[in-house]
């Protein structure tokens, strides 16, 4: 263990983090900050979550917090977790644990008072550190050195960590993207490759969640490439995986990145997997909204190009959601392999600035014009909408009514 001067001073004071921790430490003096928040404090990254561990059993933690008038929520007593809520900020407090039994997906845990034993069950060395209220860093496996060296390593034996939970294979790539650099750890990659088929035993929801996080993360080209080399990508639900060309996918993804497209996991997934993206989404049980997004990325209408005038842009905006149009614009630009082009950026800026056009006529307008409900009303409204679109979605209701009265009335039953 080592003293890290001023590390606690890096806590985000605007969230009340320091004050909340002081209250918790007054009740649970042996508790320590653990895992990701310690790692990110050392990195100087923004802290989003407060995770603590304690040798006290969860029922006692719950009682001590309530006795101190701190709101306590039993968020996962079976796993040893209680959440303290102080000034609207949650602090997740988990009892030190050891794995009594694992099956590669789930673990049966027992409580322990041994900090090193608890640290030994964590995935990576950079996630196995803890920090007490005296600013003392407890680092049992060289996590701080690995963090400085930008090296992601499993705690202890990599093969055993993966055997305990196959999800760690996917998590390795996500953490490698954010905290690693250069060549990935050989022992980790060898263990992952030898057990790649275990990924296929995970729930599709867990695979989908990790895959989208990886695709939305940094260094995505390097990470996806080593995932493919380790055989993990083939276990992620790709339909007709034998026909998928990784090199072509990497070329499409690289072309998308050169455009400056946002770090959107779904957009990158579509670029990389192309025609197989929808089947992958189906296999991994994506949400209906995400499935629809990927499907609409394939639509060719309305056409998009930087040369579109405002009328054409409004028509496109009426016919398709702005997020779909923006995504299609990035993919079309990437397919042209032109890199970052100002004209395409301008098109997206114009799209973003456009309000959603709304056709100004309704069934009530039709009734007031003497159109009875039924096929004639539908035809009347469609005719008005076709003309309104041809005018760039600019005419108001009065102008649409005037057009229908003067030009199209003979086509409807009044």
Other beta carbons within 10 Å of 302? 16
pLDDT at 411: 55
pLDDT at 13: 63
pLDDT at 17: 60
pLDDT at 413: 44
Q: Which residues pair with 91 in a beta bridge?
A: 50, 84
Low-confidence ranges of the chain (pLDDT < 70): 1-5, 12-17, 101-107, 407-414
Residues 6+ apart with CB under 8 A from 54: 28, 30, 31, 32, 61, 93, 94, 95, 96
Decide: 34 and 124 in contact? Cβ < 8 Å: no
pLDDT at 383: 93
Query: Which of 135, 99, 134 lies closest to 114 in space, CA to CA?
Result: 99
pLDDT at 99: 78
pLDDT at 18: 75
Q: How far apart are CA 197 and CA 42, in angstroms?
A: 35
Decide: 38 and 44 in contact? Cβ < 8 Å: no
pLDDT at 406: 82
- Does a cis peptide bond (omega within 30 degrees of 0) precede residue 302? yes
Decide: 106 and 66 in contact? Cβ < 8 Å: no
pLDDT at 104: 53
Query: Which of 95, 114, 20, 111 lies closest to 54 in space, CA to CA?
Result: 95
Taking only the tens place, the pLDDT of each residue in 346-366 is 999 999 999 999 999 999 999
Residues 6+ apart with CB under 8 A from 237: 204, 207, 208, 280, 283, 284
- CA quadruple 355, 359, 363, 369: dihedral positive or negative? positive
Q: Backbone phi, then psi, for 97, in 5-degree steps? A: -135, 160
Query: Which of 117, 77, 68, 75 lies closest to 96 in space, CA to CA?
Result: 117
Taking only the tens place, the pLDDT of each residue in 48-80 is 789 999 999 999 999 999 999 999 999 988 889
Domains for the chain: give ranges and CATH numbers.
2-149 (3.30.460.10), 363-411 (no CATH)
Other beta carbons within 10 Å of 365? 18
């Amino acid at each position: 263990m080592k003293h890290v001067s001023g590390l606690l001073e890096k806590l985000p004071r605007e969230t009340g983090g320091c004050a909340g921790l002081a209250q918790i430490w007054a009740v649970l003096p042996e508790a320590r900050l653990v895992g990701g928040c310690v790692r990110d404090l050392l990195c100087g990254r923004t802290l989003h979550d407060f995770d603590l561990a304690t040798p006290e059993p969860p029922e006692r933690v719950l009682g001590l917090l309530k006795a101190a008038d701190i709101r306590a929520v039993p968020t996962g007593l079976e796993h040893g977790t209680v959440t303290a809520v102080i000034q609207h900020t949650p602090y997740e407090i988990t009892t030190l644990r050891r794995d009594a039994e694992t099956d590669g997906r789930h673990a049966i845990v027992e409580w322990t008072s041994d900090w090193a034993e608890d640290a030994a069950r964590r995935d990576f060395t950079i996630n196995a550190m803890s920090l007490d209220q005296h600013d003392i860093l407890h680092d049992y496996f060289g996590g701080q050195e690995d963090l400085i060296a930008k090296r992601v390593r499993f705690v202890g034996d990599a093969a055993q960590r993966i055997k305990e939970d196959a999800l760690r294979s996917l998590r390795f790539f996500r953490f490698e993207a954010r905290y690693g650099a250069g060549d990935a750890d050989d022992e980790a990659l060898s263990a992952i490759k030898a057990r790649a088929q275990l990924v296929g035993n995970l729930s599709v929801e867990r695979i989908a969640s990790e895959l989208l996080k990886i695709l939305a993360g940094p260094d995505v080209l390097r990470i996806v490439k080593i995932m493919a080399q380790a055989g993990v990508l083939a276990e992620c639900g790709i339909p007709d995986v034998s026909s998928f060309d990784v090199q072509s996918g990497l070329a499409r993804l690289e072309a998308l990145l050169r455009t400056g497209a946002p770090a959107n996991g779904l957009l990158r997934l579509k670029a990389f997997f192309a025609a197989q993206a929808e089947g992958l989404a189906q296999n991994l049980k994506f949400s209906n909204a995400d499935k629809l997004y990927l499907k609409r990325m394939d639509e060719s209408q309305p056409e998009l190009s930087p040369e579109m005038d405002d009328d054409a842009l409004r028509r496109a905006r009426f016919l398709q959601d702005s997020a779909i149009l923006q995504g299609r614009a990035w993919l079309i630009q990437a397919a042209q392999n032109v890199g970052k082009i100002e004209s395409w950026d301008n098109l997206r800026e114009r799209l973003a600035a456009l309000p959603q056009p709304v056709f100004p006529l309704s069934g009530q307008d039709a009734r007031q014009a003497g159109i009875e409900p039924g096929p004639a009303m539908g035809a009347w409204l469609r005719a008005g909408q076709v003309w309104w679109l041809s005018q760039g979605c600019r005419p108001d209701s009065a102008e649409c009514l005037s057009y229908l009265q003067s030009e199209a009335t003979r086509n409807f039953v009044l």
